[in-house]
Amino acid sequence: MSRPDPRPIDVVLGAMALLMLGTAVALLVHGFGSAALPLFRRHEPALPAGTRSVSVQEAHHLMKQRMLFIDARSLPEYESGHVPGALHLHPAELATLAPEKLAVLAGVPGAVVYCEGASCGASRRVAEMLADFGLADLAIMTEGFPAWERAGFPVEVGGTKNVDTSYPASTKAVATVSP
């Protein structure tokens, strides 16, 4: 007596069950443990060429040396609190900014760019565009503004400063902090 041919639906369901079982085994073997693949780790994109990563403590030290700070977050986030004297420069705005507006940054010795933290790519995009423009000595505060606040460093609220309005008029966009 011969076996009846399996129905197509049974073949598909069997294949799906094998696929799910294989996926579960692969996740158990490669997803956890000391040699785990980066399946569940936070991805931090590489820093743009010519930039370096700084901690909030290093950034605070650079602030005391009058390094320009650039906040790459959205305008509402900037206005709700930012590093004192920071220039607001969001990547979307920077991409559409006329080159002559950026020329005011040409004399700046360097800048610290920040956003929300390691998972936020805005600071990297701004740093990359500024590096392409020719700005040297760029640093990214990878821990972001939330870490700056948690460290208890000074915070300024409101007072939008950007290359269109206030930066060319004075050097007050570069903050000074007393020791």
DSSP 73: S
Task: Assign 36 a pLDDT band (cuts: 50, 70, 90).
Answer: low
Hey, CA dihedral for 78, 81, 85, 86, is it positive or negative?
negative
DSSP 56: H
* pLDDT(128) > 70: yes
* pLDDT(177) > 50: no
pLDDT-above-90 percentage for the chain: 36
DSSP 82: B
**Pick from 30, 8, 27: which is nearest to 19 by CA?**
27
Quickly tell me which residue has 């399996």 as its tokens.
6
Structure confidence at residue 172 (pLDDT): 37
**pTM passes above 0.85:** no
Residue that wins the pLDDT comparison between 154 and 36: 154
Structure confidence at residue 162 (pLDDT): 63
User: pLDDT tens digits for 145-174?
Assistant: 999 999 999 999 987 676 554 443 333 333
User: pLDDT tens digits for 98-120?
Assistant: 777 777 777 777 899 999 988 88
Structure confidence at residue 45 (pLDDT): 64
User: pLDDT tens digits for 51-69?
Assistant: 899 999 999 999 888 889 9
CATH superfamily of 51-150: Rhodanese-like domain (3.40.250.10)
* pLDDT(175) > 90: no
* pLDDT(18) > 80: yes
Report the pLDDT averaged over residues 134-141: 89
Residue that wins the pLDDT comparison between 5 and 131: 131
The alpha carbon of residue 126 and the mean position of all alpha carbons in its chain are separated, in whole angstroms, by: 9
Least confident of 13-27, 83-97, 130-144, 154-168: 154-168
Structure confidence at residue 19 (pLDDT): 92
Locate CATH 3.40.250.10 in the chain. Answer: 51-150
How far apart are alpha carbons 53 and 56 in whole angstroms? Answer: 10
Mention every residue, 6+ apart, whose C-beta is less than 8 A from residue 148.
56, 59, 60, 83, 114, 141, 155
